[in-house]
Amino acid sequence: MWQALEPSQWMEKRKAGLQDVRSAVAGIIEEVKKNGDRALIGFTEQFDKVQLNSIAVSKNDIKSAYSRVDPKLVELLRHAAANIRRFHELQKPNDMWLKEVEPGITLGVKTTPLDRIGAYVPGGRASYPSTALMCAIPAKVAGVRSIVACTPAPVNPLTLVAMDIAGVDEIYQIGGAQAIAAMALGTESVTPVQKIVGPGNVYVTAAKMMLRDKAEMDFPAGPSEVAIIADDSADPRYVAADVLAQAEHDPNAACILVTVSKQLAMAVGKEIERMLPDAERKSIIERSLGNAGYVVTSSMEEAISIINDIAPEHLSIQVRDQMGVLSAIRNAGSIFVGPYTAVACGDYASGTNHVLPTAGYAKLYSGLNVAMFCKTSTVQIIDRQGLERLGDTVEGLANAEGLNAHARSVRIRRE
């Protein structure tokens, strides 16, 4: 169960599966495109075993959800939401900045929020009200006018409450690849969005990648994963607890310990065996642990190199030289430094975002943030003096490219 791993094999396994489902996802997308709401209702009955009377969740349904949730949980959601909002407010760019770079030439950037975005909130094996907060609050901070959320039926009341607290405007009780298709293509009930964000299973991830020409997507965010880089100063109980916490997400979740200490790796395995019998989601964890294990390296430099190569979604740093290792990390979705920084803190309430690239895509993408809900326009303001400074360069280069009308458009202004 707790096994030695080859990092390359671990990564291959993380990327496997997307190609296997492309054909099935293409069929789902085509069905939604042709039959709209009827397809969504049919797929919900087929996959979720729920017969829908309405795709949309009503305001009354949202209101009644509060009465079905412990008020203490509502307060916990509000606390988490406040922390998430606080962190993302720090990311908010200026609406516009302008700077005179030389006399007569002023340049800048105007930032504009998207009008309408879609958030996918997973359901199924577990409800994820925290993901509703993570997807919608940054969009709200950015100034997005209309936030749509899709989540599989039946919707957990706690998820509905979280969506309401986060500021979601429209909620649809549909999941899977069909939900991504509905938000990207539109149906009778669902108006298309400009961008879709949020994690999901391999079908959701494949649909997002296949519909990028219809709506912008955040990044591939599939089954969750954690890497832990540790030396002999790490507490094996803490490492084992982080492994089990990640493993309970999903049978396809994955965990890897990269360490310079063989003794630590063995001790973590023993702690996992000791803790596992008491785990409530034991059956899921046992399957997920098939994707888990350890790598023992001869140096911390080698361990860091492996982490940068696998580019994990979550990275826990549990070493003596915490800041030294942190400064050397180039590829990771979200980083948790020190023995008391449990990955679960970032999942729920520290304020950072838990919607992150998986399967090595942290090499290419950042985690979900406020900037992803904005677009920018460059601005230039040039007076006559500034035009004189640029004129010869613009005319000369335009003529060299054979674009004489470009040159003329500047020349007539200088005459």
User: Which active-site residues does the annotation give?
Assistant: 313-314
- Per-position b or e across 265-301, b if 16+ CB within 10 A of its CB: bebbbebbeeebeebeeeebbeebbebbbbbbbeebe
Distance CA 354, CA 59 (A): 27
Distance CA 148, CA 190 (A): 9
**Closest to 149 (Cα-Cα) out of 206, 205, 193, 87:** 193
Q: Which helix (H) or strand (E) holds 66?
A: helix 59-67
Instruction: Return all residues near 348 (Cβ < 8 A) that are at least 6 apart.
Output: 80, 130, 354
Q: Write the burial class of residue 51 (CB in 10 Å: 0-12 exposed, 13-18 middle, 19+ buried).
A: exposed
In DSSP terms, which residues pair with 293 in a beta bridge? 3, 256
Q: At what angle do helices 202-210 and 18-43 cross, to 10 degrees?
A: 90
Task: Name the 3-class secondary structure at 166.
Answer: helix
Distance CA 266, CA 3 (A): 9
Distances in whole angstroms, Cα of residue 23 to Cα of each of 142, 172, 230: 36, 25, 41
DSSP conformation letters of 26-39: HHHHHHHHHHHHHH
Distance CA 177, CA 186 (A): 13
Phi-psi region of 155 (alpha: psi -120 to 50; beta: other; left: phi over 0): beta
Contact 133, 102 (CB under 8 A): no
Phi-psi region of 297 (alpha: psi -120 to 50; beta: other; left: phi over 0): beta
